[in-house]
Amino acid sequence: TLMVTKVDEPSKYGVVVTKENGEIERFVEKPQVYVGNRINAGIYIFNPPVLSRIEPRPTSIEKEIFPAMASDGELYAMDLPGFWMDIGQPKDYLTGMCLYLAYLRRAHPEKLASGPGIVGNVLIHPTAQVGPDCLIGPNVTIGPDCRIDQGVRLSKCTVMDRSVVGSNSWINHSIIGWEGNIGKWVRMEGCSVLGEDVLIKDELYINGGKILHHKQITASIPGAAIIM
């Protein structure tokens, strides 16, 4: 069984064409004419014998195994309830985060943070520490064992596990990877992304920077750039 979801622009994806009973007839990659609007949602439920179809060589399940199973009438589709989106790009990841936080607001508001300094939908892990005089939100997630120092402003961003944001820094529309270390008075925006274990020195400006793992940044990045 493949989980499928409906999308507004099926021409960007591979479309799953099914019979009325849910049996998958075929797959159409990025169709130029409309054949349907249900696509592979990336969640599969299989019995162990399906492994016998995979040969001991580099194999694409989506391009080789699934079409063969559909041809044999052994593959069915199930509609995915709730929301779905492709989060392969940083801006899409942040949009997906916002959707998830909005879902929590509707379904499990008790899981969201509240109180002084919290604006809108904010999810803070119980082990994270937030200092005084911070303004957090809207649309922020803070992971386990993070430390947010005094006077920090966070909005539409995610701070992953074991990261530190120094005092009086301003982070907007950005992703801070695991074990990141953001100095004091840093300004970060423009869909900036930090990989794992990135150090940003004090008083720097990062605007649209994509910084790979284990880097130390000692100068501002005023425009979109990839730091390898």
Strands (E), 46-167: 77-79, 122-124, 129-130, 135-136, 140-142, 147-148, 153-159, 164-165
For residues 80, 84, 89 and 93, what is the CA-based torsion angle, rounded to 10 degrees? -130
Whether residue 111 lies in the annotated active site: no
Q: Judge contact between 143 and 160, C-beta under 8 A.
A: yes
Catalytic residue, chosen from 12, 30, 63, 91, is 30
- Tell me the C-alpha distance between 159 and 139, whole Å: 11
Q: Judge contact between 159 and 174, C-beta under 8 A.
A: no
The residue type of 83 is F
Q: Can you tell me which residue has the tokens 């591979």? A: 14
- Tell me the C-alpha distance between 204 and 51, whole Å: 51
User: Tokens for 71?
Assistant: 């041809």
The residue type of 64 is E
Q: Judge contact between 116 and 98, C-beta under 8 A.
A: no
Catalytic residues: 30
